A and B are shown apart, each in its own frame.
Chain A
Amino acid sequence: MLINLTLNGTLRTLDVPDHTLLVNVIRDHCGLTGTHVGCDTSQCGCCTVHLDGRAVKSCSVLAAQADGGQVLTIEGLGQAGLHPMQEAFSRCHGLQCGFCTPGMIMASVDLLRELPQPTREQIEEGLEGNLCRCTGYVNIVEAVHEAAQLMRGSQA
């Protein structure tokens, strides 16, 4: 089937089998490999991207469901310079191996869209759908907290 989607601001038209998942469109058809696949039960969140401004696990979305939609991946997030969330993850040492990081950052950006000033408990709860094996999450929570402060500051 033919799919039209806007991927990181660029309109793409793709001819893919009906059962193609969004993550496969992003990685295999469009070559954007920053979005990772870490499981096959939609538990790990490594494949998190934004569809029409909301975080989704792209392994659990059919490409057909994204037809006509706006998809933002980690590659698109920092097109105009690093996003505050990307900077905060680095500065707070919220990543080690970096495999979960793109999904973690995309989930965190959406978390702050919903809760611009989250408590630590809200951050912990908001990231329950993203697994990390390296950091113990301590610095990830710190990074989201710091990004929230940075972004609040930049809006003031």
Chain B
Amino acid sequence: MSAVLSPQPLLRKEDQRLITGTGQFTSDTWEQGTLHAAVVRTDHAHARFRADWSKVRQAPGVRAVLTAQDVAAAGFSGLVNSATVEGPLGQPQVVCRMPVLADSKVLYVGQPMAMVIADTAELAANAAELAEIDYETLPCVVTFEDATAAGAIQLHEAAAGNTSVVFENGDRAAVDAAFARAAMTSNVKVVSQRLIPAPMEPRAVQAWHDAATGLTHVRTPTQGLLSMLGMFTAITGWAADSIRVHTQDVGGSFGLRGTATSEHVLLMLAARTLNQPVRWIGSRSETFLSDWHGRALTLHGHIALDAQGRILAIRFDNQVDAGAFNVYFSTHIGARNLAVTMGGVYKVPALHMRSHIFFTNTVPVSAYRGAGRPDLAYAIERLVDHAAHEHGLDPVALRRLNFIAPADFPYTTANGTVYDDGQFERVMDCALADSDSAGVDQRRERARSRGRLFGRGLAYYLESSGSGAAAKDQVRGRIEGGGLTLHAISGASGQGHETSFAHIVERELSLPSQRIRFVAGEVGRDLVGNSTGGSRTLYGLGSAIVNLCSQFMEHGRPQMAQRWGCLPEQVLIKGGRWLHASDVSLHMSFQAWLDQAGAEGVELIGQASSGATFPNGCHVAEVEIDPQTGVCDLVGYWAADDMGEVISPKQLVGQVHGGVVQGLGQAFGEHAVYDRETGQLLSGSFMDYFMPRAGILHSFHHHSVPVPTKLNILGAKGVGESGCSGSLPALANAVIDALRPLGVTQADMPFSPARLWDLIHSGRH
């Protein structure tokens, strides 16, 4: 087979290294003389223990065994919980932080108890097996019902009823009044089951210490260098300027890479103590038990309608499984993210929600693609569909009647969120036309003639993308080597920022993207920036880059004035060019300026403050179910999305593909299942955990309907998480539509063949 050189350039700047195997993921590089770590994890869901580590310490090749005593001696605190809320009467949340290593009690299978450091990974793993641990097992709880039952075993002394907090948002009295006068009401309970995030690169950490400078270095996949650094300092108590965080290529993150875990800080401690580099590369089985899990929410939605079908109120009663401890993001998921867009795309005069955040003997839960927002979109759009069918209304007409209209913007929701803009009806009409809504009956009939159940589901999601934790995003631009180099904090984990940011500069300054380089990472301590999360980096950092571009043009204005012998005000700026206001022969492009000797070394900082945006869209799915087997085929999928200003169209659609398919994974099979009696994770590897595979989505149509936002300089909205928010409800509505003739009105994901077969043959028809 002959390799052929093609003149066509690669699509992304990232691609050359990634398609040739020269990318640098964390486990792809290591220092000379690196030691290897293995983690001793408990295999009990709930137990007290006493451990004897002496045989581990004496095993061949072992350099150190770190236990809870070492962590205490080092003065480390527990892992970080990033958000707390209060109950409606100001009741404080009970926050139970996870210890770096368990001391005398374990609360979930997989909880780390010790770290063994040895000359090789094999010696470390072998030594870990020699630990002698006596357990006194305790009953465990893995469901809401068991955790909150009277007399249930309590995980934490401080958390009565295994409750962290019951949070409320909105106006309960107004909602109650609306329900009292409603002509029609409906309710539906939606379970967004626990998932394993499973980015393809397993979690990995390397740490080394430079005694000369006193710096401890950490290399790990992360979606936020500064937030990671903040957590490291919070846990270790070490000065921020004694820690350096490094990341190069990151093999997917989806919310998971935002947090410091036990392995990070233990390796930092080991590197400093032993003064030798240490690495830990998580195995996939290990990451199933130690990466934070996602979703694990139950949302019970209620809707009140007047006689015409106008929505009077929506209420949610939510159960939010935090897992065994409060880590990082779980409270934010259960509180802010389930409240912020509670009314979806509809005019809803009264809103109220209650979220019960509780503890179970399971892996702690944190952010996973959308972090509560896809779950909420799923619940709202199931609720609206369910209400329409229950009361004999057309689901599309019901949505149309209740949409917030273009004239209503800016629109303040009943619980205080301000949506800037949107054209929901126009977007839905695109999706209806694209998906040939007129031909549905024919397709349904054709499927029936083949003995198959046909279902069509439509959903309209609206997201509130991340507002960011830092006050602004900054970027440093430097003219060097005949090009423009951009430095910023926010790194990528597959989003193609090196390419998109070059596109932005190319658009602003007419500078060919080959001459633009984007480097993310810790580049001095002077820049401020956000993590890559909440779908916000493109518009957050991208807006700072637009600002940087205008600063470069302003920087050149006095130079041009001097050169042309005119006043600076007489120099106009347009499309990456300086133009004399009256003499058309006088002009210069940014590119030509950059080629001059004087440009080299010019350095400016661009910045922008960008808050949340409101990406939205209408997704339609059509399915056919074989009643003999319960197998559900997705036969058509149409997405019409308003993502605001589009920078890189192909990458945008790629993000939608990925998001939609993560939703399909949840819809069709993904489920982290715990045994109710023993608390063992039953789906603990890719052998038993469903992962979407090639072919899960083979017919996909995308329609971009951009309504640029004024909420950031770029005009773009968050893209990354929207696919999930569209596909979860569209798929659920389609599957239930297919089963409705059999009397099924609600079913929970995953829609596995077994579950669907059971519904079809359960004798309801």
Contacts and interface: CB of A to CB of B under 8 A. Distances in A.
Contacts of B238: none
A106 to B, nearest CB: 9
Name the interface size band of chain B: 35 or more
16 contacts: A39-B686, A75-B20, A78-B3, A87-B6, A89-B19, A90-B12, A96-B494, A96-B658, A98-B14, A101-B18, A125-B695, A127-B693, A133-B662, A136-B657, A136-B661, A137-B695
B4 A90 contact: no
A95 B692 CA distance: 16
B251 A93 contact: no
Interface string B547-561: 000000000000000
B494 A134 contact: yes
A97 B3 contact: no
Nearest to A137: B694
Interface of B: 1-6, 8, 10-12, 14-23, 25, 27-29, 198-202, 249-252, 254, 281, 283-285, 493-496, 650-651, 653-654, 657-662, 664, 685-687, 691-698, 700
Contact of A40 (B14, B251, B285): B285
Q: Closest 6 interchain pairs by CB?
A: A34-B21, A98-B18, A124-B695, A99-B251, A97-B494, A136-B661
A72 B478 CA distance: 41
B694 A140 contact: yes
B719 to A, nearest CB: 12
Given A41-B686, A87-B8, A90-B12, A97 B201 contact: yes
A150 B1 CA distance: 12
Contacts of A89: 15, 19
Candidate in A124, A134, A139 with the most chain B CB atoms within 10 angstroms: A134
B651 A39 contact: no
Contact of B694 (A73, A91, A123): A123
Interface in A140-156: 140-141, 150-151, 154
A128 B284 contact: no
Contacts of A58: none
A138 interface: yes
A1 interface: no
A140 B695 CA distance: 10
A133 B695 contact: no
Given A40-B685, A132-B200, A137-B697, 9 more contacts: A37-B281, A39-B202, A98-B14, A98-B18, A130-B694, A131-B200, A131-B691, A135-B661, A139-B654
Interface in A16-72: 32-41, 43-44, 46
Contact of B4 (A39, A113, A131, A154): A154
A100 B200 contact: yes
B4 A138 contact: no
B374 to A, nearest CB: 15
A124 B698 contact: yes
A140 B658 CA distance: 12
Contacts, number: 211
Contacts of B686: 39, 41, 43-44, 131
Candidate in A75, A81, A133, A150 with the most chain B CB atoms within 10 angstroms: A133
A44 B284 contact: yes
A36 B12 contact: no
A38 B653 CA distance: 25
B25 A93 contact: no
Contacts of A130: 694
B700 A138 contact: yes
A123 B698 CA distance: 11
A81 B685 CA distance: 38
Contacts of A46: 200
A154 B650 contact: no
A78 to B, nearest CB: 6
B693 A35 contact: no
Q: Give the interface SS of chain B, mostly helix, strand, loop or mixed.
A: loop
Nearest to A140: B694
B654 A34 contact: no
A91 B10 CA distance: 6
A7 interface: no
A151 B5 contact: no
Contacts of B694: 123-125, 127-128, 130, 132, 137, 140-141
Contact of A34 (B23, B496, B691): B23
Given A98-B14, A151-B1, A137 B20 contact: no
A78 B25 CA distance: 20
A105 B659 CA distance: 22
A95 B685 contact: no
Candidate in A39, A41, A151 with the most chain B CB atoms within 10 angstroms: A39
Interface string A98-129: 11111001000100010000001101110110
B693 A38 contact: no
B201 A36 contact: yes
Candidate in A81, A97, A132, A133 with the most chain B CB atoms within 10 angstroms: A97
B19 A90 contact: yes
Nearest to B700: A138
Contact of A38 (B22, B284, B494): B284
Contact of A97 (B1, B8, B19, B493): B493
Contacts of B1: 109, 113, 151
Contacts of A77: 3
A34 B20 contact: yes
Candidate in B23, B200, B283, B285 with the most chain A CB atoms within 10 angstroms: B200
Given A33-B21, A34-B20, A154 B695 contact: no
A14 B175 CA distance: 73
Nearest to B23: A98
A134 to B, nearest CB: 5
A102 B19 CA distance: 6
B10 A44 contact: no
B200 A82 contact: no
B685 A133 contact: no
Given A34-B21, A98-B251, A127-B694, A133 B198 contact: yes
Contacts of A74: 19-21
B202 to A, nearest CB: 7
A79 B3 CA distance: 9
B18 A95 contact: yes
Contacts of A75: 20-22
A80 B249 contact: no
A135 B657 contact: yes
B648 to A, nearest CB: 9
A137 B199 contact: no
A139 B15 CA distance: 14
A152 to B, nearest CB: 11
Contacts of A128: 693-695
B19 A101 contact: yes
Candidate in A40, A96, A100, A125 with the most chain B CB atoms within 10 angstroms: A96
A102 to B, nearest CB: 5
A57 B63 CA distance: 33
Contact of B6 (A38, A84, A98): A84
Given A34-B22, A123-B694, A98 B494 contact: yes
